[in-house]
A and B are shown apart, each in its own frame.
Chain A
Amino acid sequence: MENSHLLSPDNIKEKARNIRKKIIEMNSHAGEGHTGADLSETDILAVLYFHVLGVNPNCINASDRDRFVLSKGHGAGGLYCTLSEAGFFDKSWLNTYLEPGSHLPGHPVRQKTPGVEFNTGALGHGLPVAFGLALSAKKQDLDWKTYVLLGDGELAEGSIWEAAMAAAHYKLDNLIVIIDRNTLQLADRTETIMQLEPLQEKWEAFGFEVHCVNGNEPEELLNAFHSLQPENEQPKLILARTIKGKGISFIEDKAAWHHRIPVGDEVFAAIKELE
């Protein structure tokens, strides 16, 4: 199944700008959210939903669609804004983010939101599930692919490495893992809290085909996705270097903005930077 948008890098950039505006508006309206994480992953999600993923908002549950799992479930806001921009549900839903009974809860819930494939929020869960998805496609001789976006902080979870080992063991070249490598987690720099590097070498040692890119540059991301080797019996890893809070100067690369939301003049200043 082919992506229903297939936008060019320039058009994806425009979509990413719209998504970032929605993130700012939605989080400030809700009074809560994970602004830094949402902005960090925006370009990756825009590339996936407007070009790479074989999905179609007019046929959301097509059996041959590609599957996407947001392992860093706290990035739900970024995912919701991307899904609405891509036409999976009405943009008015964004005004209900975090409200009681909303289709858009604080972490993704597949029973609630069209286009959400799996319930995440607790970290370290996405890769085992994505491993299972990719393995089920292989077992059933199906062509769809599985994509999973990991945060870098959650790489401290042992379950990630259990699944990484298994994905290589089962030769899952239909599994594409993306790491949103913004080097910040809730409290501090990832490397201060728990040394993760050298990530490229670690994933290579686990048997992955690794590509390192600027994760805030749609063209670089697209090139990386296009250069993935088919049928080489290796799972894929795109190590996407990003900036947490990307796009808003006063939010970028600051741990405090993991949970913070823009208020008052900050909202106007943020939107102005995105104009």
Chain B
Amino acid sequence: MKKGMRETMVDVMMDEARAGTNLVVLVSDSTSTSKIKPFQEEFGDKVVNVGIAEQNLVGAAAGMALGGMVPITANAAPFLLNRSNEQVKNDICYSETNVKLVGLNPGFAYGALGPTHHSIDDISIMRGFGAISIFAPQDPRETAHLFRHVLHTEGPVYIRLDSISAENLTATAAGFQPGKLTVHRQGGQLVMLALGTSVHHCITAAETLQQEGIDTSVVGVSSIRPIDYDQLEQILSSHETVLTVEEHSVHGGLGSLVAELIAERQLGTRLKRSGIDEGTFAPASPADAIRTRYRLDADGIVASAKELAGKVKV
């Protein structure tokens, strides 16, 4: 059964608040964006709305963390990281404050609203900053494990929380293990590495490809920092070709991270990066249309995989 990622986040917040975790949720007129109405009804005193003032949102979160609380910021990813870039860098990362930044509706989730509302650079931005962990959960179950983990682990965190409702793919029992990659399928000489919920499209694509006689591996990446580079190397070394899939610019995100490792460790794995093309904005179009255009949906991933498979042993 599908469940919303944001609704899952709110469920965890409510459980944690009931259990006595000293959390506070900061929003910038983003109560609907963050789906926190149920939380607000039960724990109104634990919600701080600063109005449409994202710099103050982030600075205030840092201050509340210094005051002993566990602040979660919840607003749209572009406004969080682009408007408040320096507050994120200095007040959260450099100051190592115990703030959990949640970038909602990242990538091109806002589709036709256009690049002002897209966040195809958040992973790139956050990888440039020190001292902060970077996560992008793949499904509701992992989202719940992740939030429980970060609320009880000291230190700054950025969570790229996709807007979709999704089926659970990750194992029931596993808690969140920072750094670990999730191997969903194993086979063939092509591996698809997906950021966050893009893994769902990859799995659908892998099933189609299998019906056509092409075996592929699918690996979900939900932990960008830390990341288990040795596990990633092992995966890359055991395949001839890797296709990275992310609703992000091909510059600075998962594809870049993989390219860096291939180059630095001289792995020789052939790499194709699917994402928003270098040096461009995604157009103001519905999200599905953008996915199609950049080959980020299952059909597009199948097409990319077939092109790559023509050049690899399958």
Contacts and interface: CB of A to CB of B under 8 A. Distances in A.
Interface of A: 63, 67, 110-111, 117-122, 124-125, 127-137, 139-140, 142, 146, 158-159, 162-163, 165-166, 169-170
Contacts of A110: 95
Interface string B55-95: 11011111111111101000000000000001100110011
Contacts of B71: 132
Contacts of B87: 125, 128, 159
B50 to A, nearest CB: 5
B90 A136 contact: no
A184 to B, nearest CB: 24
B24 interface: yes
B53 A166 contact: yes
Contacts of A135: 48, 60, 63-64, 67
Contacts of A121: 90
Contacts of A131: 56, 59-60, 63
B60 A132 contact: yes
Contacts of B45: 139
B53, B62, B66, B96 — most chain A CB neighbours (10 Å): B66
Interface of B is mostly: helix
Contacts of B65: 132
A132 B51 CA distance: 14
B69 A139 contact: yes
B91 A125 contact: yes
A122 B64 contact: no
A121 B68 CA distance: 23
A136 B53 CA distance: 18
Interface string B91-120: 100111000000000000000000000000
A132 B55 CA distance: 12
A133 B90 contact: no
B53 A133 contact: no
B184 to A, nearest CB: 40
Nearest to B66: A133
Contacts of A127: 59
Contacts of A120: 90
A111, A135, A142 — most chain B CB neighbours (10 Å): A135
Contacts of B61: 132
23 contacts: A110-B95, A111-B96, A117-B66, A121-B90, A128-B87, A129-B59, A129-B63, A131-B56, A132-B66, A133-B67, A135-B48, A135-B64, A136-B69, A139-B64, A140-B69, A142-B67, A159-B59, A162-B53, A163-B56, A163-B60, A165-B53, A166-B60, A170-B48
